[in-house]
Amino acid sequence: MAVIINDLGFVADEQGNSTKALEAYKKALTLFEQLEDKKAIARAFNNIGSVYDNLGDLSLAIDYYYKSLNIREVIKDTSGLASCHNNIGYLYFKQKNYKKALENYKKASDYAKLENNLYRYAIIMGNFGLTYSTMKDHDQALRYYMEAKKIYDTYNYPLNQSQNISNIAAIYKKQGKLQLALSMYKHSLHIMDSLDYKQGQAVVYSSISSIYLTLGDIKKAQVNAETGMKLAKELGYPKEISNCGLILVDVYQRTGILKTLSLLTCDQRI
């Protein structure tokens, strides 16, 4: 019964119903405590922490993550320890406490190695990359993204592979290596196209159009920005709508389209 209730919490969580997810996870926790199933109790604490994390209540989230961590240390749950430290690391990252984030990612990666969980290890490498990128240490960020890439290239994780390649492209872009960035973005987009991963496609089209604009290829900048804009509108992604919109304004200004549209609007008002 406890496992079923916990699973219902997971389903509610996946559907974005945090209230139902919390209710189910807490009921499951009570039952696991009655059964004295320490591994399940730790998992329930972690799940509750994750919901609070998603809700932005970071103080409650970290409290539950540490409750989970303490039990997992006692029972020597290597897999659970990797998960906990990764979650705690990401929470500290969101709080901009990069030192503690990196410390927890290091512990998480060590445990992931111990359990030989390459998929989890690659995700943690990506989190290292994101943290160093945010700290503007692009060389270190690239190092960790490349470490993740080795795993994603070897094993069949296409969605993670495409996202990681996009992250590598973003680093090259920040370093001014635009042709390398463009090549990586196109590689990422090719994988996303095969998965019909529209969320990722919208972001990558926006990034590609930005590079073409910088390179002075106005036509390709326009085509990619318009494609990205269409996808972003379908998905309701305000950030990418804004990004593509700004690029298109620049494109239209350079091509004279914006001036023509402005004149037409004035004529209509007259």
pLDDT for 270 beyond 90: no
Q: Is the pLDDT of residue 269 over 60?
A: no
Per-residue confidence (pLDDT) for residue 253, from 0 to 100? 87
Contact 123, 91 (CB under 8 A): no
Residue 261 is predicted with a pLDDT of: 47
Residue 257 banded pLDDT, cuts 50, 70, 90: low
pLDDT bracket for residue 255 (50, 70, 90): confident
Whether 112 shows a pLDDT value over 50: the answer reads yes
pLDDT at 248 over 50: yes
> What tokens does 134 get?
């945010």
Q: What is the pLDDT of residue 184?
A: 99
Q: Tell me which of 6-10, 48-52, 265-269 is least confident.
A: 265-269
Of the chain, the percentage scoring pLDDT greater than 70 comes to 95
- The mean per-residue pLDDT over the stretch 24-52 comes to 96
Of 9-13, 114-118, 182-186, give the lowest mean pLDDT range.
9-13
CATH superfamily of 1-76: Tetratricopeptide repeat domain (1.25.40.10)
What pLDDT, on the 0 to 100 scale, is given for residue 2? 85
- The confidence score (pLDDT) of residue 258 equals 57
| Sign of CA pseudo-dihedral 114, 120, 124, 125 | positive
Q: Identify the DSSP state of 216.
A: T
Q: What's this model's pTM, rounded to 2 decimal places?
A: 0.88
| The pLDDT of residue 116 is above 70 | yes
